[in-house]
Structure formats: structure tokens, C-alpha cells
């Protein structure tokens, strides 16, 4: 039975949460001493593996001749699908994703076999020597072709409210069209890697760069046909994940584990960048058809949306991604009558997966595009159309319920946008840009302000749980372990702050250790922006129990009331008594008081019906808005982000410095998705943008010289950890403003009255096509 005693861990002037502490690994990062999976000392006898990949998009495997691979220098062994003792599957939901292809290949780059050699170079060179005889099959390479062929990895989903057809028919004005937004490579700095070490009794330990150690444990256990308790997965930190290591690290973990299990020797499987990009899935590309009705003020009266995503060859996480897209197609706007349909197109390309935002950005950007279109048709400022369509304030019944049935009880978008509009001098700059464009025939400036509302929680309710362990040692130092994974986002720093605050000790006394399935079982992925919410609460629960035991011991031993015992700044004070935290811990140890505890948290009040696509799937919403100003060269398609102003709602921020850093990083990453990062497959289905030479992520020179990021002063109405809000995914929607600023600049070529046919990513080529289209349209008017 857990104690319900209430004690205090605060004084009037002391706190460890809400402070801008440095990242717990900052010194290690900048000094090059932070250990990633590939930095771990290799055990004697370690071998290295590489994958042999398919050269065709869709084909039967007639035969594979591996003789040249076996004869290659340094090769020790080769394994294929038939060598798994258990199931050859790594699909996280539906078992349609083989670890190694068996009889059929479904995309260029699909792993066929794994070769083990004395060195990484030997393994990689040998993997290229296989001779594969294929019988080609028809390949579907585009999402719209998948829709036409009714080729889906999952049944289509739909959600409606009101009567969109009647609302559209009765409305005075209509808009109808198609649009698309591209996918995105995660491009984590540390590639996919797994280091598998055989253990006694057919056990295996896997050091893995993964966001989901428990899922890796399940995949490896099933692949090797051994119990989960014989598989230990550990991850100290990742060099970035962004969703690409949520499910897709499973293939690498399972392949490495198979080799170690068979050979009884440690095996490391580390992907080179080209192989990583050829094998793994990316952000889902989306194609849209829309029909929207509105009045002469720009108020949306009814809407029909159809979305088709590039799922790739298997389901992976495409279903949940599409669900979140459907739930975020409203963004910050009330849609009274709406009909939404979403399809996950099965294509013979990499199986697309999680990426920061997880479908939310793809859903929200569609309504932003529609509003931008309406504004051009009405010759109004898009900001005014946006504000007109906002969800009602919290006391406006009827306009504060989402299309999936959740009441918006914390709507601050009106106040947040008003503050940003004022602080960014939006109206003044709008007038100045109009004047500039009038006198500048080649260089055109654009300006846009876009808002966002992002739901926080896993749509799958049971995933919203977490566990933690807290150990207090006799010197007063504290060791913490929890189920979340650190990928640079500062999760361990925030959890350490929470524990330090709860126990009333300086942050320096807290250490968070590697995520380990042998310590915290059945963890959820560090995803959906829930890392601090879930694991922070679990660690707080564990620390609180220890604090309450110590308070009860202090009051019982020395006199006084346990409820008046205060823990702060390494001191324990009550009445006339004062001890250091270390002194009290030592006395409690000799009195046999338990100085460690487990903690658990499950997010309350969540409901979701996947069949009707209705409920209250989110614990709360995180809001934000950004203003971007760009300049575009209409002769070359080059552009530059001159200034960006971002205002983000982090609630009571646990660590403002880390949160601002997350907003900045998300902004630039989202900007890359919508501008420079283009995925291209050739006619044979091969990804041709599979290296930094052809795939362009933003560089430091792409960041605006004037970059103003602030946190909105707000308190989360939900009982989140210290009433903070998540900051991982939502800010990725802020750079919508960059895309629409570019579109605004292009529109000025036609005096702002023509809607540029600009698709995302807005590459230089796409910008030039849109400029040409606007010029031609203007000439024919």
C-alpha cells in the first residue's frame, strides 16, 4: 500500500524545476566523450554484420547464389530468412514486415540476407557480391496509383460530423482542388545500429539505438523463439531519433541478435548512411483532394477532405499516423460540417514510419493551405481568415468541440496569436512588404503567420503509461531509471530535475542511467511528445514515496508532525530540527527504512473508439504560432528566411532553455521538410536521394539571422508534470509560416490575386514552376 502522506519539498525561494539547467550530457557532447552504441568498447571476438539488399521494387526471388559472398575475405557466416528459430517478422502492429525477405521482395533496398565478417568493411563489401535471380512483378510506385488500384496496407478510415454535403451545397462560395506534401528522411546523426552479445542459457543482450527498447525486446524474443526475460535491450542515448528509431530499429536489432545467437559471439550491425536511407522508412508523403464551402467573410461552412499517404510496402505505423492526421486536420479551426477520408496507399517503396509530428503536420497543413487559398480568392489577409475560423473561447459552447468529439477546454490560441501579432509587428511589416514588392520586379518578399494546436498523448490509450525506479544512496546521491529514452531532447535532464525537486536536493546529486528492459518492463516508446509527461510523473511518484517515508521517520524519531517536514536545497527542516539530506538518509538506513522505490503513472481521462474515430484521445493541447518573412528570387527560385518569430505554449516549462532549444530545432527541421528536403524515386522504384549529396537538410546558413523564440506564459489546465506541456513534436508545425511566406512572395508576382500552385517541398525548382504559372495566369487575365 502506497502512502498518502503529504509532505513538502519546497521553500519560498527554492526549486529545481522551471530553471534553465544545462542538458545533463552537454559537457560530454561538446567534449566528444558521450558514449553512443558504436562507442561502447567491443568485446573480444566481436564480429561485424552487413545486409544484402534487393535491387528490384517488386519481384519473386527465383534463386540467390551466395557462393561469392561466402568466399569473400573475412566472411564468417551468412544468414537468411530460414535461419530464424522463431518468427521472421518486425512489424509493430500487423505482422506483414519480414526482417529478411523470403520468396518475394517488395522494394529496392529490402534486406535479403545478413553477412557476418571479421570487420565492418569486409561485411559490407561481401554483401554486394550476391547473385540474385528475380522474376519481376508489377510495382506500384505512387500513392495515387495505389488509390486507383485500391492497394492499401490497411482498410480506409473515415470520420464525419454534421452533413458536409448539404453544407457545401447550401454555401455561397466553394473551393475545390488537389495538393500534396512530400515525405522526409529522419537523417539522425547516429545511424541505425545494434550490438548483440550472447548470454548464458540462450540469452542475448542488445545495445541498440532505439526509441522503443521493449518493442526491440519483443521482436528479438519472437525471432529467436526465446522468452522475453532472456532478452535484455539497453539504450544509454541516441544521436537523434525523430521517430525513425521507434519501430524500424527492430530489423537491425533482430538481425544482429540472430547472428550473435547462432555464432555465440558478439555481433555489431551498423548501417552506413546510404544503406540506412535505402532500407528504412521516412515521414509519410500525403496527397489531398478537398472541397470547402465558405461565406464572403471567409468563414468555413463545410468541408470534404480525402488524404492518401505513401505507406510503403507494409503497415508499420501508417494506421496511427493516418489517425493522427485525421484528428489534426482541424488544426486551430472549428469545422461544423466535415467529412474526412484517409487511405494508406501500399506502394513498392520503403515502409514509411513515425517522424516527429506523426501525421499531425500532414493533417494540419491541409487546412492551412485551404485557408490560404480562401484568403487569396477573397483578397484578404490570411491571418484575418484564420482568426475568424478559430475554435471558440472556452466559454463558447458549440464552437469548442473537435470533429472527433473532444471538448477544447484550454483554448489560448486567441491570446497567443494576438500577442505574437503585436510583438512581431505583423501589420506594419505587411504594409512594408507590400510597398517593397511594388517597387521590386525580381526580388519578392513574403510574410505569413500560422498557428497550431497539437494533441498530446498516444491515440492508443494503453500506451499512455510509464514506470520508474529511484534509489537513494547513503551519501545522499540518487540514481534514477525510467522507461523513456534520451535522444538529445533533454528527457533525462527533465526527469532528474523532477526527482531533485521532489527530494529537495540539488540537481547535481541526481544521475539518470541507461534505459534498460531489465529494470523497467513493458515500456512505451519515447514518442508522441509524452516522454517527460509519462516518465516524469512515474519518477515523481517513486521519489515522493521515498520522501514521505523519510518524513515519517524524521517525525517519529525526533518528534513533530510528518506533514510539516520540508525538503529543500539538500536540507530537511521541521520545527526546531534541521538535518542535511545525507544525515537523514543515513539515520533512516540504520533504522531499516526503505530507501528506494518504484513509481508508476497512467494518464487519466483518455478515451478513443478506433471504429468510430471518436473520443477524447488527448490529455491536453499544446499551442503555438510563428511569423516568417522571406525573400524570393523569382529568376532562380532561391529564397532566404530573413526573420522568424515563434511563440510556443510550454505551460509551466520544466526547463525553459531546453524547451526553447527544442522549438528552434523543430522549426528548422520542419522548414527543411517543407522546402529543401525532397525524396525522389526513379522509374524502377529506387530511391535516388539516399545520401547528403542528393538529399538536402537545412544547414546553419539556412537559419534566419533574426530568430526570435519565446515561451508563452501559461499554466497547463491538465494535471501534467508540474503543469508543463510537451515540446517535442508540436513546434514542428511552426514553420508552416515559412512555406506560406514563400507562397505569399510568389503570389506578389501576380499582385497577390493569384493562388500559386506551389507544392511541398518548395524546392528552387518548385518555386520557379509556381512563379511561371502565376506569371502566365496574370498575362491571360
The SS3 of residue 179 is strand
Matching residue, cell 497543413: 365
Q: How far is CA 400 from CA 300, 392, 625, in A?
A: 15, 5, 19
Q: How many helices (H) and strands (E) does the chain have?
A: 19, 29
Q: How far is CA 558 from CA 444, 573, 682, in A?
A: 75, 12, 77
Q: How far is CA 721 from CA 212, 457, 568, 647, 654, in A?
A: 22, 14, 19, 21, 8
Residue 422 to residue 429: CA distance in whole angstroms: 11
Q: Which residues of 267-284 are buried (b: 16+ CB within 10 A; e: fewer)?
A: bbbbbeebbbbbbbbbbb
Q: Is 111:101 a contact under the CB 8 Å cutoff?
A: yes
Q: Is 409:385 a contact under the CB 8 Å cutoff?
A: no
Enumerate residues 6+ apart whose C-beta is below 8 A from 726: 456, 529, 530, 531, 532, 533, 622
Any alpha helices (H) in 403-513, and if so which ranges?
413-423, 426-438, 491-503
Kindly state the DSSP code that residue 165 receives in the 8-state scheme: H
Q: Is 630:742 a contact under the CB 8 Å cutoff?
A: yes
**Contacts for 18-22: CB closer than 8 Å, 24+ residues apart:** 18/652, 18/653, 18/654, 18/655, 18/656, 18/722, 19/497, 19/655, 19/656, 20/655, 20/656, 20/657, 20/658, 21/493, 21/497, 21/507, 21/655, 21/657, 21/658, 22/493, 22/657
Of residues 234, 285, 664, 729, which has the active-site annotation?
A: 729
Q: Which residues of 617-634 are buried (b: 16+ CB within 10 A; e: fewer)?
A: bbbbbbbbbbbbbbbbbb
Q: Give me the sheet containing 577-580, strands edge to edge.
A: 566-568, 571-574, 577-580
Length of the chain: 781
- Quick one: cell of 181? 506534401
**Active-site residue 729, yes or no?**
yes
Q: Which residues pair with 624 in a beta bridge?
A: 452, 648
Enumerate residues 6+ apart whose C-beta is below 8 A from 200: none
Maximal C-alpha separation, the chain: 91
Kindly state the DSSP code that residue 768 receives in the 8-state scheme: H
DSSP element (H, E) containing 602: strand 596-602
Closest CA to 639 of 446, 361, 410: 446
Catalytic residues: 729
Amino acid at each position: 500500500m502506497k502512502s498518502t502522506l503529504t509532505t513538502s519539498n519546497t521553500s519560498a525561494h527554492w526549486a529545481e524545476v522551471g530553471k534553465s539547467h544545462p542538458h545533463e550530457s552537454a559537457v560530454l557532447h561538446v567534449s566528444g566523450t558521450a558514449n553512443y552504441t558504436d562507442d561502447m568498447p567491443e568485446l573480444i571476438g566481436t564480429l561485424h554484420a552487413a545486409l544484402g539488399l534487393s535491387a528490384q521494387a517488386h519481384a519473386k526471388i527465383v534463386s540467390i547464389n551466395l557462393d561469392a559472398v561466402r568466399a569473400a575475405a573475412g566472411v564468417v557466416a551468412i544468414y537468411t530468412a530460414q535461419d530464424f528459430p522463431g518468427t521472421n517478422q518486425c512489424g509493430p502492429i500487423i505482422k506483414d514486415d519480414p526482417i529478411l525477405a523470403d520468396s518475394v521482395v517488395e522494394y529496392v533496398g529490402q534486406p535479403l540476407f545478413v553477412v557476418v565478417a571479421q570487420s565492418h568493411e569486409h561485411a559490407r563489401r561481401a554483401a554486394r557480391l550476391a547473385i540474385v535471380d528475380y522474376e519481376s512483378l508489377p510495382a506500384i510506385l505512387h500513392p495515387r496509383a495505389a488509390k486507383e488500384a485500391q492497394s492499401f496496407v490497411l482498410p480506409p478510415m473515415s470520420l464525419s460530423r454534421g452533413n458536409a454535403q448539404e453544407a457545401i451545397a447550401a454555401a455561397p462560395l466553394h473551393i475545390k482542388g488537389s495538393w500534396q506534401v512530400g515525405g522526409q528522411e529522419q537523417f539522425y546523426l547516429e545511424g541505425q545500429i545494434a550490438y548483440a552479445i550472447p548470454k548464458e542459457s540462450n540469452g542475448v543482450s542488445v545495445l541498440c539505438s532505439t526509441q522503443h527498447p521493449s518493442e526491440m525486446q519483443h521482436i528479438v524474443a519472437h525471432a529467436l523463439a526465446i522468452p522475453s526475460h532472456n532478452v535484455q535491450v539497453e539504450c544509454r542515448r541516441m544521436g537523434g531519433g525523430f521517430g525513425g528509431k521507434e519501430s524500424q530499429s527492430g530489423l537491425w536489432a533482430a538481425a544482429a541478435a540472430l547472428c550473435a545467437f547462432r555464432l555465440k559471439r558478439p555481433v555489431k550491425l551498423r548501417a552506413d548512411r546510404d544503406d540506412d536511407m535505402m532500407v528504412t522508412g521516412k515521414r509519410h508523403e500525403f496527397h489531398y483532394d478537398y472541397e470547402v464551402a465558405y461565406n464572403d467573410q471567409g468563414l468555413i461552412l463545410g468541408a470534404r477532405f480525402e488524404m492518401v499517404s505513401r505507406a510503403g510496402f507494409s503497415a508499420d505505423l501508417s494506421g496511427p499516423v493516418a489517425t493522427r492526421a485525421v484528428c489534426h486536420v482541424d488544426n486551430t479551426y472549428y469545422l461544423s460540417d466535415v467529412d474526412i477520408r484517409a487511405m494508406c496507399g501500399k506502394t513498392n517503396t520503403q515502409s514509411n514510419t513515425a517522424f516527429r509530428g506523426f501525421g499531425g503536420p500532414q493533417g494540419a497543413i491541409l487546412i492551412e493551405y485551404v485557408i490560404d487559398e480562401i484568403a487569396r480568392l477573397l483578397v484578404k489577409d490570411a491571418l484575418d481568415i484564420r482568426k475568424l475560423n478559430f475554435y471558440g473561447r472556452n466559454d463558447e459552447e458549440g464552437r469548442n468541440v473537435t470533429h472527433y468529439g473532444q471538448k477544447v477546454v484550454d483554448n489560448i490560441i486567441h491570446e497567443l496569436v494576438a500577442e505574437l501579432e503585436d510583438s512581431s509587428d505583423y501589420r506594419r511589416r505587411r504594409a512594408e512588404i507590400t510597398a517593397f514588392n511594388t517597387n521590386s520586379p525580381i526580388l519578392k518578399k513574403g510574410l505569413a503567420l500560422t498557428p497550431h494546436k497539437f494533441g498530446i498523448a498516444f491515440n492508443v490509450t494503453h500506451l499512455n503509461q510509464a514506470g520508474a525506479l529511484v534509489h537513494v544512496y547513503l551519501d545522499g546521491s540518487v540514481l534514477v531509471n525510467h522507461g523513456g529514452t534520451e535522444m538529445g531532447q533533454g528527457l533525462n535532464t527533465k526527469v532528474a530535475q523532477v526527482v531533485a525537486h521532489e527530494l529537495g536536493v540539488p540537481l547535481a546529486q541526481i544521475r539518470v542511467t541507461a534505459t534498460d528492459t531489465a529494470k523497467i518492463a513493458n515500456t512505451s516508446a519515447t514518442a508522441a511528445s509524452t516522454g517527460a509527461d509519462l516518465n516524469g510523473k512515474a519518477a515523481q511518484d517513486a521519489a515522493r514515496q521515498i520522501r514521505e517515508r523519510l518524513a515519517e521517520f524524521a517525525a517519529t524519531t525526533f518528534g513533530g508532525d510528518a506533514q510539516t517536514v520540508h525538503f529543500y536545497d539538500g536540507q530537511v527542516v521541521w520545527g526546531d530540527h534541521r538535518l542535511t539530506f545525507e544525515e537523514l538518509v543515513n539515520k533512516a538506513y540504520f533504522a531499516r527504512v526503505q530507501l528506494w522505490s518504484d513509481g508508476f503513472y497512467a494518464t487519466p481521462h483518455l478515451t478513443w473508439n478506433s471504429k468510430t474515430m471518436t473520443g477524447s484521445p488527448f490529455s491536453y493541447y499544446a499551442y503555438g504560432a510563428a511569423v516568417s518573412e522571406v525573400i524570393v528570387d523569382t529568376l532562380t527560385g532561391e529564397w532566404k528566411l530573413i526573420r522568424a518569430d515563434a511563440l510556443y505554449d510550454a505551460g509551466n516549462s520544466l526547463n525553459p532553455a531546453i524547451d526553447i532549444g527544442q522549438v528552434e530545432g523543430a522549426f528548422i527541421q520542419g522548414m527543411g521538410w517543407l522546402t529543401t528536403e525532397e525524396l525522389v524515386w526513379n522509374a524502377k522504384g529506387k530511391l535516388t536521394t539516399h545520401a547528403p549529396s542528393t538529399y538536402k537538410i537545412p544547414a546553419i546558413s539556412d537559419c534566419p539571422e533574426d530568430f526570435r523564440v519565446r515561451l508563452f506564459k501559461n499554466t497547463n489546465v491538465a494535471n501534467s508534470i508540474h503543469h508543463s506541456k510537451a515540446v517535442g513534436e508540436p513546434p514542428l508545425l511552426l514553420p508552416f509560416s515559412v512555406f506560406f511566406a514563400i507562397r505569399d512572395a510568389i503570389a506578389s508576382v501576380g499582385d497577390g490575386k493569384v493562388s500559386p500552385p506551389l507544392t511541398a517541398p518548395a524546392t528552387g525548382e518548385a518555386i520557379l514552376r509556381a512563379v511561371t504559372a502565376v506569371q502566365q495566369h496574370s498575362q491571360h487575365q
